[in-house]
Structure 1
Amino acid sequence: MDVDTLLAKRVRELRKSRGYALDKLAELSGVSRSMISLIEREETSPTAAVLNKLADALGVTLASLFSDESRSVPEQQLARLSEQQVWKDPASGYVRRHVSPSGYASPIELVEVTFPPGQSVAFENALRNVVTYQQVWMLEGEMEITAGEQTWHLQSGDCLAMELGQHIVFRNPTRNQARYAVALTTPSFISRRP
């Protein structure tokens, strides 16, 4: 399934399963009703920032929007490279590969990101509906990650752990492509720290 088709289907299914009209999801996410409608009709490719807002309002992780949980296939323990969903952010050009096997019951989701030189992406959600922990492991190149008031400069081999829930900016300040792995978890038994 084409990634834009999958995203349209997932947003629509999640919205309807929660009983949200377009107006309600727009109110909860801060994304316009018309933009959500365009996404659901596959008439636009949403940016990473828009998808993050929608995922948060729907109470899921961004990575789960790329997983076709409605397929009637048994859980897969192996995700072959050729079967992994790949998506390109139309705003920054970063490429996101959903590495984890689709539908496998695991508290961890793995994503690989290839980030173009000189580009940045900002995630605005200050308060999240889903507690999400993330670790970013630099495989190649360098990235600057700013969460709230703190900025880290990551180089190849470095790993940064954080709880999502504040303004976060990913920026590649170099002239070279960067590549990193992201591990996400949303443990239901962990409550938000004060």
Structure 2
Amino acid sequence: MREDVESRLADRLAQLRIERDWSLEELASRSGISRSTLSRLERGEISPTAALLGKLCEVHGRTMSRLLAEVETEPPQVVAAGAQQVWRDESSGFVRRSVSPPHPGLRGEVVEGRLRPGADIAYDAPPVPGLEQHIWVLEGSVEITFDGRTHAVEAGDCLRFRLWGPSRFRCPGPGPVRYAIFVVLP
């Protein structure tokens, strides 16, 4: 099933570029991702990292959940825990579970994130400026940086903010962190 999702994601990324009538060179210029990497992503030869997918979401004005929902076949109202879409970025140690049933017409969503100790993910910009996030740490701790300030968020704590610029998620350890993100589009 994972291969099917990755194949549909590759197709959707190519479709988004074509809908805008952008060449690979144009998308490379807008995203800061090399033309060769974009070509390999669209052909499904490689899986995008969290950072690459974040850049592409920014360029296309979508949250990661919305993009992943667009590759679903039909949006259900209930998604059983075992059927929730899970995406892994092995290189960064990030695991992302789409908890909310996908629906492109809705403005809010719930996502579960997991980072292994030492994981460090930086995003150049939000996929949608002004994106509201509520991050509730369920286990472990995470350092979240935005607006030039770093916030240490421990199990049970909740951090709420609007995202306008770069952000960073870092798991200082010693164990992994598991958190829920409540995302609200502006």
State the TM-score, normalizing by the size of structure 2.
0.90
Q: Distance in 2 between matches of 1:82 and 1:129?
A: 29
Specify which of 39, 42, 51 is matched with residue 41 of structure 2.
Answer: 39
Q: Distance in 2 between matches of 1:87 and 1:159?
A: 23
How far the C-alpha of 1:130 sits from its partner, in A, is: 4.2
For the Cα contact (< 8 Å) 1:114–1:180, is it kept in 2? yes
Q: Distance in 2 between matches of 1:89 and 1:76?
A: 25
Give the RMSD, CA atoms, in angstroms. Answer: 1.9
Runs of 4+ in 1 over 3 A off after TM superposition: 127-131
Q: Distance in 2 between matches of 1:182 and 1:160?
A: 9
How far the C-alpha of 1:90 sits from its partner, in A, is: 2.8
User: How is 1:1-194 mapped onto 2 (pairs within 5 angstroms)?
Assistant: 1-2=1-2, 3-68=5-70, 71=73, 73=74, 75-103=75-103, 105-125=105-125, 130-187=129-186
Identity of aligned residues (%): 39
How far the C-alpha of 1:175 sits from its partner, in A, is: 1.4
Moved more, 18-27 or 114-123: 18-27
**Count of aligned pairs:** 184
Q: Which amino acid aligns with 1:102?
A: P
Moved more, 173-182 or 14-23: 14-23
How far the C-alpha of 1:6 sits from its partner, in A, is: 3.0
CA distance 1:174–1:69, shift in 2 (3 Å): closer
Where do 5+ consecutive residues of structure 2 fail to align? Answer: none
CA distance 1:177–1:51, shift in 2 (3 Å): same
